[in-house]
Copies of this chain bind each other. A is one copy, B any other.
């Protein structure tokens, strides 16, 4: 890894968590951004590249094995990439379906699973061999895989069958990977982000408290902190909530 920057991959980039995580990790790593819609990463790629960092964007549907494969083939061909992946953040949430159970179609019900379970599977299979390779090279921080999750990973609410089955599955996947790859030095984290995130789309959403929305920059700082934990001292599961959120 002679002098080359390490890389980080962020899947699921919108204006909130994904973008802020990318900006934060771009301070130390080259960044590959995956999103289905290029509009979600194009501006961010420019921003990072024009401010001294390095970023690429790849249009990818993470629930599609071939799409994920193709995306990582492209990453591997990048100048400066030779398997040196320092961190991977799976931030794909999927469309949020909230409906009476009897109104759900099979496709709607499966959205949660596809985005959070199956997509997490394809992403993990792509990044884990790279993270393991990086681990052997003795990186400054243990290679890290973070799953952005939600309270719905812990509680299946009425009308939430699609989202909750997906997030429960994501938590199962994260735990299973943490227990298999933790002993190999890979840091796998399940992060429950519980609340409305402060992004342009939620600007108009009013709450009693003026600062009731989660700061995506703060999420990014916490993800970075977790990434810097030595392997003697891994956090596997944690939550982030606004001070005024009921939980």
A interface residue numbers (CB < 8 A to B): 65, 100-102, 104, 106, 109-110, 113, 117-118, 121-122, 124-125, 128-129, 142, 152, 155-161, 164-169, 171-177, 179-183, 185, 187, 198, 209, 211-215, 218-219, 221-222, 225, 228-244, 246-247
Q: Which residues of B contact A241 (CB under 8 A)?
A: 233-236
Copy number in the complex reads 4
Determine the distance from Cα of A197 to Cα of B169 in the docked complex, in whole angstroms.
25
Q: A100-B180, A179-B246 are in contact. List 11 more A-B contacts (CB 8 A).
A: A101-B181, A104-B125, A113-B113, A157-B175, A157-B176, A161-B176, A164-B172, A183-B244, A212-B232, A215-B233, A218-B232
Determine the distance from Cα of A229 to Cα of B223 in the docked complex, in whole angstroms.
12
User: Would A242 and B236 be within 8 Å (CB), given that A113-B113, A128-B102 are in contact?
Assistant: no
Is A172 in contact with B198, judged by CB distance below 8 angstroms? no
Q: Which residues of B contact A171 (CB under 8 A)?
A: 156, 168
Q: Which residues of B contact A128 (CB under 8 A)?
A: 101-102
Q: Which residues of B contact A177 (CB under 8 A)?
A: 101, 161
A184 to chain B, nearest CB (A): 8
Name 22 A/B residue pairs within 8 A (Cβ), A-sorted.
Answer: A101-B124, A101-B176, A101-B180, A106-B121, A113-B118, A113-B169, A156-B171, A158-B176, A160-B176, A164-B175, A168-B171, A169-B172, A179-B246, A213-B232, A215-B230, A215-B232, A215-B233, A218-B233, A222-B225, A232-B242, A234-B243, A235-B240
